[in-house]
Each structure stands twice: as C-alpha cells, then as structure tokens.
C-alpha cells in the first residue's frame, strides 16, 4: 500500500498535488471509472479531512518531540500522571514539518474514536471491519504509553453492488504509514498482509459509542481524572457533531472536481472555526 495522501497517486502514480484532476477522480478497480466510485472517493476524502481537522483543533496529548528511529515513528510525550488535568488544544505545528509524520501523530490510537466521531458523516453506506495489520509501512508508537500495536484496527468497508467492488476506507491509517484513504479491499488485505478479525458488522455507531462503553466498565471509572478526560472528549465530539448535523448535506459530494475542491476547502475552514471554541468540563 502506498504511503501518500488521500488524493495523491490515486490514479496517476506521480507526485500530484491535491488539485490534480486525475487524482481527484476515482481510482481504478477492475474496470473503467464510474460516478459511484468518484463519489465514494469524495466521501472518503471528506471523512479523513474531518478526522484530521478535529484532531488538529482538539489534540489531547502533551507531545514534546516526534522522531524517526529504526523505521518506527516515536511520539514522545510528557509522562502522564493520574492526577494530570485533561487537555484539549491545537496540535503544535513546530513538532514536525513532515506531512506523513504530522498525520500519523494526529491519528495515532484513534481508530475506534474515528468510527464514533465520523458516524454522522457515514451512516448510510458503510460497515465496520476489524483488521490486524501484518506489515505496516511506518509504525507509530506513543511513548511512554502501553503498546497498542496488537489491537485490531477498525476500518470502513463499502460495497458498490452494481460493479461487484469492495473498498476499504481507512481514515486513521496514517499511524501505520497508510495515507491513501480509499483502497480496493483485495489490495488493502494483500499489500500490508492484513488479516480480518471476524466478519464486517453494520455501521450503527454514534459519536460517543466508545465512551458510552467505557462508562459501563471499571477502567472507565478508574479515577476522577479518567472520568473528567472522557467527559471532555464527549463534549468535544458532540460539539463537532452539531456542526455536521447543522451544516453538512449530501450535496457536498456533487459537482465538478474544481467545485468539490472548493466545497471541501470551505468545509475544512468552517469546521476549524467551529472547533476553535472548545467546550470545557
């Protein structure tokens, strides 16, 4: 699997910019292009953009350094304390100027959160599939922190029934070095040697599904600080969800490539403005 951005190298296999007409068009699968496939790529692009923008404006890790060593991207954070107050603030741009590293830091350990956060944008067409990644391109580790590399990685699975095609949308794949957001299912499984962990399940998530689960278990109530952190995350997600509910329409995916790019840029700017005023506990 290539480690390029969502729009780059989808078709032309070159160093295209996000405005490259060939790369904004849908990637090939087994036959010529289709309008359905183009809309699927646009939907995937919007989903990943929403996740990255949310994390850029509401980052919850106190990172001190980002470094690459022995093929692993290390995210150094201040040692967490059970008495630390939860934080939500813009991601520190000075930590790295490398887009791949920045994106990996933003989505590290956010797979399950992404499924919940993006529920308002994806509710009609997709199912969820847990994947075990066998061969990441660039693994990312948060240190000090427990190793989560063996945890299943939830992704979205879409089917274009009229064409017999199956696709994977991976909005949080940058933590494994995967920056292409829309990939044919056979290619996604083969290239990084992935192993599905069970069958796909219907997409029936809400913005706070994982937090609701945590609230019913002892580890979600381990301390006042943990409860406060989860509540701050809950308020941030509901704040994002209100933007989606009140402003995003299906027509976002319609129009020419240039028009879609304009609408996508406005979506990013409006979401960033909305998230600049974050709720407090």
* Mean pLDDT, rounded, of the chain: 84
Model confidence over 201-210: pLDDT tens digits?
877 889 999 9
Whether 5 has a pLDDT exceeding 60, the answer reads no
β-pairing verdict for 195-196 and 153-160: unpaired
Instruction: Report pLDDT for 14.
Output: 40
Alpha-carbon span 107 to 114, nearest angstrom: 9
β-pairing verdict for 153-160 and 165-169: antiparallel
Model confidence over 259-278: pLDDT tens digits?
999 999 999 999 999 999 87
CB 141 within 8 A of CB 67: no
β-pairing verdict for 126-132 and 72-77: unpaired
Domain hosting 58: range is 21-110+125-196
Instruction: Report pLDDT for 137.
Output: 93
Instruction: Report pLDDT for 27.
Output: 66
SS3 191: coil
pLDDT tier at 39, thresholds 50, 70, 90: confident
Q: Is residue 189 part of a domain?
A: yes
Q: Is residue 61 part of a domain?
A: yes
Whether 141 has a pLDDT exceeding 80, the answer reads yes
Q: Is residue 256 part of a domain?
A: no
Model confidence over 178-197: pLDDT tens digits?
999 999 999 999 999 998 98
Q: Is residue 240 part of a domain?
A: no
pLDDT tier at 124, thresholds 50, 70, 90: very low
Q: Is residue 252 part of a domain?
A: no
DSSP state, 52?
A: H
Instruction: Report pLDDT for 101.
Output: 96
Q: Is residue 212 part of a domain?
A: no
Whether 139 has a pLDDT exceeding 70, the answer reads yes
Q: Is residue 267 part of a domain?
A: no
How many domains are contained in the chain? 1
Most confident option among 70-74, 200-204, 213-217: 70-74
Model confidence over 245-262: pLDDT tens digits?
999 888 888 999 999 999
Of residues 121, 129, 230, 249, the one with CA closest to residue 183: 129
Whether 20 has a pLDDT exceeding 90, the answer reads no
For the four alpha carbons of 108, 125, 195 and 165, in that order, the dihedral sign comes to negative
Q: Is residue 261 part of a domain?
A: no
Instruction: Report pLDDT for 147.
Output: 87
């Amino acid at each position: 699997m290539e480690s390029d951005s969502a729009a780059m190298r989808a078709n032309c296999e070159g160093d295209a910019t996000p405005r490259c007409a060939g790369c904004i068009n849908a990637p090939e699968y087994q036959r010529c292009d289709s309008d359905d496939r183009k809309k699927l790529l646009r939907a995937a692009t919007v989903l990943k953009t929403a996740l990255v923008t949310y994390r850029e404006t509401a980052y919850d890790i106190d990172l001190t350094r980002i470094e690459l060593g022995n093929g692993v991207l290390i995210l150094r954070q201040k040692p967490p304390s059970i008495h630390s107050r939860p934080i939500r603030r813009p991601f520190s741009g000075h930590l790295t100027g490398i887009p791949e590293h920045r994106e990996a830091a933003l989505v590290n350990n956010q797979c399950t959160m992404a499924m919940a956060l993006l529920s308002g944008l994806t509710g009609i067409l997709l199912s969820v599939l847990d994947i075990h990644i066998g061969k990441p391109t660039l693994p990312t580790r948060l240190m000090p922190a427990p190793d989560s590399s063996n945890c299943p990685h939830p992704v979205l699975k879409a089917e274009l029934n009229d064409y017999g095609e199956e696709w994977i949308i991976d909005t949080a794949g940058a933590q494994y070095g995967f920056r292409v957001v829309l990939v044919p299912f056979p290619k996604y499984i083969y290239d990084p040697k992935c192993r599905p962990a069970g069958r796909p399940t219907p997409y029936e998530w809400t913005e706070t599904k994982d937090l609701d689960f945590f609230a019913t278990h002892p580890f979600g109530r381990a301390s006042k600080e943990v409860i406060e952190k989860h509540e701050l995350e809950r308020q941030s997600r509901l704040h994002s969800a209100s933007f989606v509910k009140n402003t995003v329409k299906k027509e976002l995916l319609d129009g020419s490539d240039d028009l879609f790019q304009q609408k996508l840029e406005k979506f990013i700017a409006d979401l960033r403005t909305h998230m600049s005023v974050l709720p407090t506990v």
